[in-house]
Structure 1
C-alpha cells in the first residue's frame, strides 16, 4: 500500500512551528500510512535577529524522522517589506514559488524507481495565515485543509464579518472608536466594538482579514484547535452550515513536552525548584506570551499591585523591543531591577520571583500555581484549561480582546483585569491599567473556593477526556484522517 504524504506549511516563527509539529505527531501517530513533510519558511535575516525565529533543526529531534521530514525553504533576503501591517501575508504569498518548486521536486522523488516505498501526495495542511498556498495545492490536484489555531467562536466571527461585508455592505471600519455593539450570532451577548480584533478596525488590514475568511471557504476542511464540549453550540452551527467546509474540533493540541535548550532547561529547573517550596495553589503566575511586554510605568503599576495583594507571585517580565521596531521582547537579565520600583525585589523576596522567559506549560502544571494572569492567547487559554488553572484576562493584540470577552462574559471562566486593553502596531491603549485594577483582578482570581475555580477544574477533566480514546476530539481526529485518506 502506498504511503500518503501530506505537506504541512506553518507560518514563520517558533510558535506556529510548535503547533505544526504537535499536529504532525498526532497525524502520524494515528495512522501507519501517513507521512508528513513540513516546509519551514524563515523571516528575512534582518527581521530574525534577536527574535524567536525557527528552523527545522530546532524541531527535528522531537519527531520520528522516517515519518516527519523538515525542509527549510530558501531564505529570501530580497524581501524587506517588514514595516507594513500586512507584512506577514505578503511574505507568505512571496513564498508560493518556493513551495511549488519544492513540492514538485518531492513528487518527482516519490515517483522515482529508487524510492523503496510507493508514495503519493495526499494533500496540504496549511496554517491559518497560509491560505495563499491553497492555489499551490489546487495546481497539484490535491485537497487542502486549514489548521485554525484560534477558537471556533473566532472562526465563526470571521465568517460572520465576511458575510455582513459581502452580502449586506457593512463596513467594519465603522466600529473603530465607536460605542456601537456588534450583533454576533455566536454569543448570547452583543460584542462591544472595543473587543473586536484590531485587524478589522485598521484600514490597511481589514481587507486582508476578510480575504482570509473568504479563502477558508475554499479549503476542503478546517482543523480547529478546540474541543466540542467547550464550544458546543458554535461548533454545531459551523458543522451544520452547508456553505462551510467541514470543521474538525480536534484540540487541545498543545506543546507540553520537554525543553531542548540547555540554558532554558536550567532556567526552568530554577523556577520549578522555587515553586516546589510554595504551598499548593498559592502562586499567581503572570505571563503575556512571546510578544507581550510593557513600558516602565505599566511595569510599576503591576509591581505595586502584586506587593499590595499579598499573594505569592511568579512574574515573567520581558523587555520591549526598541520603539518603532518589529521584534520580540527579550530578557532583562541583571538589569531587571532598573525597571522595577526601588527595593521591590528585596521587599518581595520571600513571596515572589521575577523571571524573564518562562516555561509556561510546566509552571501551569505545577500544583503550587493557583492562578494565571494572561494575555488570553488561545494556546495559553487551552493550557490554562488543560491544567485546571483559572485565568485573569489582560489581552494585548490580535484576537485576544475577543477571547477575553468570551472567557469572562460568555463562559464565566475567568476573572477580569481588562478585556479591551490593546498594545500593538497602529492601535494601543493610552491609559495605564492601574495597580488597583490589577490587584482587584488578582484577588478575584485567587479566591479560594470561587465559582470560576470550580468551573475550570471541571472543564479540565472534560478537556482531558476529549483527547482519550472515544472522546470527542479523538473521534474528530479519526474522522479527519479518514477523510484525508479517502480524498
Structure 2
C-alpha cells in the first residue's frame, strides 16, 4: 500500500511549531500509512531552541525534520521592510522548499511508498500554496488559533472586499462590532493588533482569507463543545472550504519536571498557588514589574512568577532572563514573600499547570495557553499582550464566562507598544476574583466542566477525534 507523505510548513513561532509537531504525531499514530516531513523555519532574531520532542520511537520513524537555512539577505529583511517582513520571509523560503519536495517525489518515484499527498501549512505560510500547486498536490491549513479568529478573518475579507471598509479606522475606538463568530458585540479595542495597525492594516488578513478560500480543508485547533457558535458560522458559509475542529492539540507528554521548583509546589496546599507566566514573547519593564509585585504582596496568596525582560526596545528580540531580578523588584519584596512565593525565569508551563497546588493562572491568553489551562482545569485572569490575545480574553471572559479580567485591551508588542501601567490595585482585584469568593467558585466549576469536555472530544468517538479521522481519510484518498 502507498504511504501518504504530508509536508508540514509551520510558522517559526514556538507556539505554532509545537502545535504542528503534536498534530503530526497524532496523525501518524492514528494511521500507519501516513508519514510527515516538517520544514522548520527560524527567524533571524530568534535564538531559542526549537523543540522536536518525541516519546515514541515508532512514531519518530515516520516524522522527519528539515531545517530551512537563513542567508544574509533574509537576515537583513526586517530592517529593509518591517511591514511586509513575515510574508517576504516566507517567500524567500520557497526555493529551499521546492528542492526538498522534489527530493521527496524523486525518492517515491516508481515506488509504492512515500507518495506526496499534500502540504499542511500555517496561516502565515500561504505563499507556500504556490509550491504545492507546482507539484499538483492539495494544500491544507492547520490553523493554530481559534475558530472565532478564523471566522473573523473571513469576515474582514467581506468587509473590505464587498463593503470597502477600512478596519484601521477602529484603532482606539469605543465602537462595538457585529461579528458572525461571536454571539456578543465585539469591542473594536480587542481586535487583533494587525487589523488595527496603519502600517500593516487588514491587508495581511485579507490576503490570508483569499488564499484560505482556495485550500482543500482547514484544520482548527479547537473543539465543537467550546466554540460551537463560531464553527457553525463557518459551516454556514458556502464560500469557505471544509473546516475540521481537531483540538485541543497540546504537548502533554513532556509535563514532568524535577528540582527545587516542583519540590516547592509539592509542599503547597491544593489549588492555593497563583501562577504568573506570559508566554515566549511576554515581558515587562521595571515600573510594571513593581506594580505586579505590590499586588502579589497585598493579596497574600501563594505565587509562582515567571519574570522575563525585553533585551532591547529598538529591536524585535525574544525576552531573556533577568540577570538579577532584585534590580526591578521592590526593595525587600523577596524577603517579605519568602514563605509565600517564588520568582523564576523560564517556567515549565505544562508541568506547573498540571500540578494540583496551582489554583489560578495570570497570563496573556495566547490560544495554546487557553487550551492548556482548560485541559488542566485551571481558571485564568487575563492580561493579553499581542496578536489575537485581546480577542481570546474577551471571548473567555465576556462570552463564555471561563475566565476573569485583569485587562482586556492592554497591548505590548513590537508594533503597538503601550506606556500604560496596570496598577497594583487592578492586578490585585483580578487575582482576588480569580482565587476568592463566589465568582471564583462558579468560574472554577465551569472550567472543570470544560476540562472534561476537552478530554472527551479527543477520545475515540469524540467530535475532534472523528473530525481528524475524516481528514486522514481525505489524505489517504489522495494516493489511493
Q: TM-score range by the shorter chain?
A: over 0.9
Distance 2:274 2:224 in 1: 29
- Please give the TM-score of this superposition, normalised by the length of structure 2: 0.95
Partner of residue 195, structure 1? 190
Partner of residue 167, structure 2? 172
Distance 2:96 2:56 in 1: 25
Partner of residue 313, structure 2? 323
Query: Residues 180 and 233 of structure 2 are in contact (CA less than 8 Å); yes or no, is this contact kept in structure 1?
Result: no
From 471, 479, 482, give the equivalent of 2:462.
471
Structure 1 residue 189 displacement after superposition: 2.0
The answer to whether 1:439 aligns with 2:412 is no
Change (3 A) 1:62 1:345: farther
Deviations for 1:30-88, whole angstroms, at most 9, x for unmatched residues? 111001111112233xx23xx32537xx4477763421111122332321122414322
Distance 1:441 1:52 in 2: 32
Change (3 A) 1:446 1:274: same
From 262, 285, 291, give the equivalent of 2:275.
285
Partner of residue 481, structure 1? 472
The answer to whether 1:379 aligns with 2:368 is yes
Task: Could you tell me which runs of 5 or more consecutive residues in structure 2 were left unpaired when the two chains were aligned.
Answer: none
Query: Residues 215 and 241 of structure 2 are in contact (CA less than 8 Å); yes or no, is this contact kept in structure 1?
Result: yes
Structure 1 residue 326 displacement after superposition: 0.9
Deviations for 1:255-312, whole angstroms, at most 9, x for unmatched residues? 12227xxxxx87x532211100000000000000000000100000000000000111
Query: Residues 105 and 116 of structure 2 are in contact (CA less than 8 Å); yes or no, is this contact kept in structure 1?
Result: yes
Mean alpha-carbon deviation: is it higher for 11-20 or for 145-154?
11-20
The answer to whether 1:101 aligns with 2:99 is yes
Query: Residues 85 and 425 of structure 1 are in contact (CA less than 8 Å); yes or no, is this contact kept in structure 2?
Result: no
Query: Residues 3 and 34 of structure 2 are in contact (CA less than 8 Å); yes or no, is this contact kept in structure 1?
Result: yes
- Please give the TM-score of this superposition, normalised by the length of structure 1: 0.93
Query: Residues 287 and 374 of structure 1 are in contact (CA less than 8 Å); yes or no, is this contact kept in structure 2?
Result: yes
Deviations for 1:365-408, whole angstroms, at most 9, x for unmatched residues? 00000000010100001000000000000000000011111011
Distance 2:333 2:248 in 1: 38
Partner-residue secondary structure (3-state), 1:86: helix
Partner-residue secondary structure (3-state), 2:259: helix
Partner-residue secondary structure (3-state), 2:342: strand
Aligned length: 471
Partner of residue 262, structure 1? none
Partner of residue 299, structure 2? 309
Partner of residue 36, structure 2? 36
Partner of residue 244, structure 2? 248
Change (3 A) 1:91 1:60: farther
The answer to whether 1:422 aligns with 2:417 is no
Distance 2:183 2:346 in 1: 38
From 439, 442, 451, give the equivalent of 1:460.
451
Distance 1:8 1:60 in 2: 17
Distance 1:197 1:184 in 2: 13
Partner of residue 87, structure 2? 89
Partner of residue 3, structure 1? 3
RMSD value over aligned CA atoms? 1.6
Partner of residue 109, structure 2? 111
Q: Which runs of 4+ in 1 moved over 6 A?
A: none
Query: Residues 86 and 204 of structure 1 are in contact (CA less than 8 Å); yes or no, is this contact kept in structure 2?
Result: no
Partner-residue secondary structure (3-state), 1:32: coil
Partner of residue 222, structure 1? 218
Partner of residue 288, structure 2? 298
Distance 1:96 1:458 in 2: 45
Query: Residues 156 and 205 of structure 2 are in contact (CA less than 8 Å); yes or no, is this contact kept in structure 1?
Result: no
Deviations for 1:231-278, whole angstroms, at most 9, x for unmatched residues? 11211221232111110100000112227xxxxx87x53221110000
Query: Residues 13 and 52 of structure 1 are in contact (CA less than 8 Å); yes or no, is this contact kept in structure 2?
Result: no
Partner of residue 27, structure 1? 27
Deviations for 1:196-228, whole angstroms, at most 9, x for unmatched residues? 111011122221121112111111111100011
From 371, 392, 411, give the equivalent of 2:400.
411
Change (3 A) 1:453 1:65: closer
The answer to whether 1:66 aligns with 2:61 is yes
Query: Residues 60 and 70 of structure 1 are in contact (CA less than 8 Å); yes or no, is this contact kept in structure 2?
Result: no
Partner-residue secondary structure (3-state), 2:199: helix
Partner of residue 208, structure 1? 204
Query: Residues 180 and 230 of structure 2 are in contact (CA less than 8 Å); yes or no, is this contact kept in structure 1?
Result: no
Change (3 A) 1:188 1:239: closer
Structure 1 residue 119 displacement after superposition: 2.5
Partner-residue secondary structure (3-state), 1:37: strand
Deviations for 1:339-377, whole angstroms, at most 9, x for unmatched residues? 100000000000111110000011110000000001010
Distance 2:84 2:261 in 1: 37
Distance 1:400 1:25 in 2: 27
Task: Could you tell me which runs of 5 or more consecutive residues in structure 1 were left unpaired when the two chains were aligned.
Answer: 260-264
Distance 1:62 1:169 in 2: 51
Distance 1:271 1:213 in 2: 44
Partner-residue secondary structure (3-state), 2:6: strand
Partner of residue 332, structure 1? 322
Query: Residues 13 and 53 of structure 1 are in contact (CA less than 8 Å); yes or no, is this contact kept in structure 2?
Result: no
Query: Residues 303 and 344 of structure 1 are in contact (CA less than 8 Å); yes or no, is this contact kept in structure 2?
Result: yes
